[in-house]
């Protein structure tokens, strides 16, 4: 699988449905079982795929010039935290405005909840 905007080989871990380039990308701190902490200024870039799924790329801060903190395959079904959403041609951007948690509901569904 090749991730949108990538130039390298990607693999998918079938158990966790986490897409990552060579080496581990999930650098978000754990917030319990199947949950990870998002900083106040995190950005989640959501690419809509042709098969109806989504590819989520999480950045600690939209202004920081650094690689993503995590990338997951699945659908972001809800954001229950202070945020702004901006539509893009290939999906949308969720700009967080408070500390929150990215939680896995099941293998293909994710939600963001405020702390």
* Placement of tokens 């090749």 in the chain: 2
- Tell me: the pLDDT tens digits for 24-81? 447 889 998 899 999 999 999 999 988 888 999 999 987 878 899 999 989 999 999 9
Q: Which of 19-23, 50-54, 55-59, 86-90 has the lowest mean pLDDT?
A: 19-23
What is the distance between the alpha carbons of residues 103 and 112, in angstroms, rounded to a whole number? 6
Tell me how far CA of residue 103 lies from CA of 1, 22, 87, 88, in angstroms: 24, 24, 22, 24
């Amino acid at each position: 699988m090749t991730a949108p905007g990538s130039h390298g080989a990607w693999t998918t871990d079938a158990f966790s449905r986490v897409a990552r380039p060579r080496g581990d990308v999930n650098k978000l701190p754990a917030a319990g079982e199947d949950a990870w902490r998002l900083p106040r200024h995190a950005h989640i870039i959501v690419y809509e795929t042709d098969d109806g799924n989504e590819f989520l790329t999480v950045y600690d801060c939209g202004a920081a010039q650094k690689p993503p903190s995590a990338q997951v395959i699945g659908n972001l079904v809800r954001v229950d935290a202070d945020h702004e959403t901006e539509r893009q041609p290939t999906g949308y951007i969720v700009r967080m405005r408070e500390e929150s948690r990215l939680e896995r509901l099941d293998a293909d569904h994710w939600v963001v909840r405020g702390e």
